[in-house]
Structure formats: C-alpha cells, structure tokens
A = this chain, B = another copy of it.
C-alpha cells in the first residue's frame, strides 16, 4: 500500500449547535479542511457517524454531505463502529487512497446529539452495547463502564480520587482549545464532589455529549515533496475487535483489542511506545483512559492511574494525553470524536497546539474505541522534518 499524507484539517467547536443542521455542521468542518489543504475537490468522501438515523432521522450521510460541500457525484458512504465510527471512516479513506483506487479523500466525522430528547440519545448510545445480552438486563452504557471501574478499583486497590488526574488534565488543557466544549479548569475537590451518575462513575469521570464535526484531507505522500516542513503521513493503522458484551471477555479489565491494534500499528511504524510524543486516547470515562494506557504499552496492568498521579500525562509529561481536552473536556460527539483526535494530533505535529503544545512532537498516536472496548482503531502519524 502506498504511503498516505494528511494535508488538511478542519473542525467546528463542540457545542450545542441548535441553529445548524447536520449537513451544515459537517459542511463547516469539511470545507475548512479542504481550504486548509488548498483543494476544492476530492475523489471520495468518507463519513464517520453513529446515530444520525435515530437522533436526526437521517441516514445516507455520504451522498447528503457530498452534495452540500460541492462534491455532488463523488463517491461517498457512512462508516459506523459505535463511538469508533470516526476512526473507521478514516481507515476506509486511508485504504482507498493507499490502494490506488482514489487519489484523494475527505474524511468527515459528525454527530448532532443535543437537540434530540435526552432519552432518545441515551437509547441511541446504548446501541453500542449488546442489545440481547446487556441492554435487556437493564444496563445503560454508563452502567457497563461503572461495573468495569468498580471491579478495577477492587482488583488493583485504587480509590476513586486516584483517577482525578485524568479529568483535571483534560479540563486544564481544554481551557486553551477554542473548539473544546468546556473552558473551565477542574480541582481535585470539584472532581471528588461531583454528582454521582452510576457509582463509581461521577459527572467528572464522564465525557459530555455535544454537536460537532471534524475533517481531514488525505492524498498519496508521493504527490508531496518529502522535504516540505508540514509533511505528515500515516505510518501505522490497525483495527481490532472484542466481544461487545463485556461479560463475554476473558478479562474485562484488559483491552485486548487495544493491545492488538497498537502492537500492529507500532510494528508498521517500526517504533515502540516510548517513541510516541503525544497520544490522543479515548477517555469517554476515566477508567477507559487508564485501560487504554495499559493496553497500549505505557503502564503495567492495573497501574494506569499512576501516570495521572505522577503528572506523566500532561503536555510536558512522559506521555501527553487529552492535550486539547480529550473526550472529557473537548467533548464527545460520538461519531466525530475519532476525527477530532486525528485533527488534534496533526495540530501537535504541526506545532499549532498553542499553550498545550508538546515540544518537538514527531510521532503522534490516536486511539478511538467503539463500545466498552469492543472495537478499537489505532493510528500513528509522523512528521518529517
């Protein structure tokens, strides 16, 4: 497969965009990415979205958004892997350009969640879990994650307050990201006193829903001059799945699909975890940040919270995460999240991350998770000086 470069990025703020329809929101990010890439058209549009059929009574987003952004007649489809939909769309676009079938691709992640009844959204989010074997038992999606966090605390001896660092880091970084949902810092007291949602997950452990869209433009790297200061290519791409029902897994506290997809991505890139300069992971709940760090090779099993306690996850730490706010504070418009992560890593590699810039970042990694660890897509990006 030929090497693929990311030459354009775009995003809308994550917010309550009641005045903008789904296509308008997606269009803003898409046109911004095309503009950033200096292009008016591409050979294919790849849309990441999870719940438009339910929340917006609109499927068929590929053709709908293509037409809206001036790409009528262009190949287009929608890709869904629950909250991992953004990265699934990115990987499809990557393979289409890498295969030689297309010479350019626009990937847009979009989700519009805040102007539907909240019960409808909770119900739509629950379709990421196993309808027959989890939901029918009365579990919501957050309840499934709460069971995992409770078991993790029990097995490895952590207190709830030990997870505070994940949310504090995310909120502190989001202050400096104009596209983030929240711009307020967070203290440990605020974290521990936050209202309980599903014990032990409280409001500050959980990422907020939101409306948002993010987009990237891909072309073959061979079309660019390798000495160009902004050449950023995809050097690793891998996806893996696991049982959708958490109880079906051999070990509910180990993200097998994350371990498998990062191992393969590292091998493709020819690097090891310590080479990663910035890591945008899937902190939908703080427990997921811990599990992702462990499975991706940054902490021993059961020791993820240690990285937060020691400050290793801050922008100038050993393995910076959620540098633009993460799912926790940038927000989690589910089908768009995977593309926000990629846009933010590209910002870091370009040196455009402002006050939360990671010094001299060369390798950036994203990890987008569908369900409670059942579909995990990992991508590694490299900047060539």
Q: Which of A's residues lie within 8 Å of B, judged by CB?
A: 1, 21, 23, 44, 50-54, 56-64, 66-67, 71-82, 84-85, 88, 91-92, 95-96, 98-101, 123-124, 126-132, 135, 237-244, 248, 256-257, 260, 370-371, 374-375
Residue of B nearest to A57 (CB): B131
State whether B73 touches A241 (Cβ < 8 A). yes
Chain B residue contacts of A91, Cβ below 8 A: 77
Chain B residue contacts of A63, Cβ below 8 A: 81-82, 241-244, 370-371, 374-375
Residue of B nearest to A98 (CB): B99
Which among A77, A91, A124 has the highest number of chain B CB atoms within 10 Å? A77
State whether B132 touches A241 (Cβ < 8 A). no
Interface of A, secondary structure class, is mixed
Residue of B nearest to A375 (CB): B63
State whether A95 touches B101 (Cβ < 8 A). yes
Specify how many copies of this chain sit in the oligomer. 2
Subset of 28 A-B contacts with CB under 8 Å: A1-B100, A50-B59, A51-B53, A51-B59, A57-B135, A60-B375, A63-B82, A63-B243, A64-B244, A67-B248, A73-B242, A73-B256, A73-B260, A75-B239, A75-B240, A75-B241, A76-B81, A77-B84, A77-B85, A77-B88, A77-B91, A78-B79, A78-B81, A80-B80, A92-B92, A95-B95, A95-B101, A99-B101
Which among A1, A60, A72, A128 has the highest number of chain B CB atoms within 10 Å? A60
Partner of A64, one of B56, B66, B130, B256: B130
Partner of A60, one of B52, B67, B127: B127
Residue of B nearest to A238 (CB): B75
State whether A375 touches B76 (Cβ < 8 A). yes
State whether B74 touches A81 (Cβ < 8 A). no
Known: A52-B127, A60-B375. 11 other contacts (CB 8 A): A44-B239, A57-B126, A57-B127, A58-B127, A59-B80, A62-B370, A66-B241, A73-B241, A75-B241, A77-B375, A95-B95
Partner of A131, one of B58, B66, B101: B58
State whether A124 touches B53 (Cβ < 8 A). yes
Complex Cα distance, B230 from A180, in Å, reads 55
Residue of B nearest to A82 (CB): B60
State whether A370 touches B60 (Cβ < 8 A). yes
Chain B residue contacts of A56, Cβ below 8 A: 131
Chain B residue contacts of A135, Cβ below 8 A: 57
State whether B257 touches A73 (Cβ < 8 A). yes
Smallest beta-carbon distance A330→chain B, Å: 23
State whether B127 touches A241 (Cβ < 8 A). no
Chain B residue contacts of A130, Cβ below 8 A: 58, 64
Smallest beta-carbon distance A215→chain B, Å: 17
Residue of B nearest to A55 (CB): B53
Complex Cα distance, B57 from A281, in Å, reads 27
Chain B residue contacts of A100, Cβ below 8 A: 1, 99
Complex Cα distance, B84 from A78, in Å, reads 11
Complex Cα distance, B22 from A127, in Å, reads 13
